[in-house]
Structure 1
Amino acid sequence: MSADAAPISAADAALVERYLEHVRVEKRLAERTLALYSLDLEKLAQFAAQSGVALTTVGNHHVRRWVAQMHAGGRSGRGIALILSGWRGFYAWLGREGLISANPVQDVRAPKQPRPLPKALGVDEAVQLADHADEADDPWLDARDAAMVELLYGGGLRVGELIGLDVAPSDAALRAGRGWLDLQSAEVQVHGKGDKRRTVPVGRGALQALQQWLAVRDQVPAQPQAAQALFIGRRGTRLTAQSVWQRLKRRSLRAGLATPVHPHMLRHSFASHVLQSSGDLRAVQELLGHANIGTTQVYTRLDFQHLAKAYDAAHPRARRKG
């Protein structure tokens, strides 16, 4: 307890001790967990003492005020949620003991954590990855991986959508809920989340890489169940998401990128770079297949981040570091 903290009453301290003994015996908690419970309840008792109320007379409005104080003091939403969980258990026990009529923590929730920005490559890094040719690699694998990178970055596909593509449209693909490549129209028909379909244009770089891949694809005989799969592995089976992750990580490291790249990073890069160039949030929403534009709006934060860095680097009035 800090020097300026209000003293906890003997009655409240006794209640906390009784509860800690209860959970120690009933739940058989580890010493480390019990110590965390003790710290959280000491914090609760201190808040109550500072507010001039007993633990048994704490109200919902008290708890909400204390949550706001913890949040203002820099406590994370996750940390507050854990503290509230401990407090909620304590008051549930007080209710079972007949010492309170309502749990003051029951409807209190921790502040939401800010949604983390998705990781995206810079334009130069994305081009470096797409243009990389690994002379030490199997040419068949290199052609396939190049086509995958071009589709992931050039079309913003999810990895599940990528591996679900067929080489051409067919009734079988439609019935099975798969997408397909339409080379003639330079587009892919994607079967995405929620059983929704969308059309994604295939750019010049992706089109060229796909043509080069299709020219060598049949060097490995496809298994009957994967006869129409656009991307297959060395055993002739439809490529798995795990294989795409592994191959993309390998390619990014060999291309000299500082960070291993995963499929969703290329989807984020696609969205961020299209938004930087066009500013058209609705178009990006359509291309990504987002049902709610709120999901797409995270890329406006990425775009602003990009602009802020450019400003800091170039503007004579930008705030100097150091």
Structure 2
Amino acid sequence: MRIAVDAMGGDNAPSEIVKGCVKAAREFSDVTLVLYGKEDLIREGLDESLTNIEIVHTDEKILSEDDPVRSIRRKKEASMVKAALSVKNGENHALFSAGNTGALLAAGTLLIGRMKGVDRPGLLGTFPSLSDKRSVFHMIDLGANADSKPLNINQYATLGTQYARHVHGIEFPTVGLLNNGTEENKGSLLTKEAYQLLKDNKEISFVGNVEARELLNGVADVVVTDGFTGNAVLKTIEGTALSMMTVLKNSIYNNGVKAKVGGLLLKDSLKGMKDLLDYSKYGGAVLFGVKAPVIKTHGSATAEPVYHTIRQIREMLDSKLLEELITYFEHAEN
């Protein structure tokens, strides 16, 4: 397995990207990581004894403020572009970046290309579930497409089902449609039309509409929605988790000796809660519907999320998921 890594993408690049790659390379000897970026900066944090890390020098990088499509077309020597082209040309099997999200989506769609039969690729993320029934749930689309059609949401359900089955080992994943109520007649024109397509989709186990307040309670294995709504929910989950930890921390430190002693006694429990809400350990967001795995991790990612994302890509490649999906959608179109 060969994974192309945009070593210059993200707030902490290339140092934290390299650290995460080094950790992954030590653990996964069957994976070769090809790091694209400024060679001298990459080598500063590299373990030269590792034989499964390669470097491809590039002089350019795509910045967070760059226009996504324009930067992909004009910055031909950028680390992300060179990495994407290597996947397109079959030199590597997957693309990973913590850089400009829009540019990565454009690189995946325009350079690597959509699967035949998939109208619009979507971003899929994995989140912790607080339910005893399931440990995680998957949501798609997290922002690849602000405007979606019912067809897109129906295809996301099939993509998400296959991901949950192949990568997370869920034999019969359930699918819910994110809506403002559980009744079948609830929602916008988009969700009402999508509901009927999902109801008739024989490839999924559709459980109907689900509400945002139930997401973390294990209401479904896969939750589908349009990209605008999905991105808003993603930011809400992130913000709520961070705010909860801040409130707890302030309550302990600002309320005297008793609170501090109590906080000390609860230290392990609070750490466990923090770990439970940390979805970065499940890897990055998958751009689903393109011909090869394209994975985006958070722009502020440190070494640990980078390591987990590489592990996730390895599991995807090992499962042969993409090959099955390509075959499915080609047959569906015919």
Q: Smaller-chain TM-score range?
A: under 0.3
TM-score by length of 1: 0.20
Q: Answer with 1 or 2: which has the greater Rg.
A: 1
- TM-score normalized by the length of structure 2: 0.20
Q: Which has the higher strand share?
A: 2
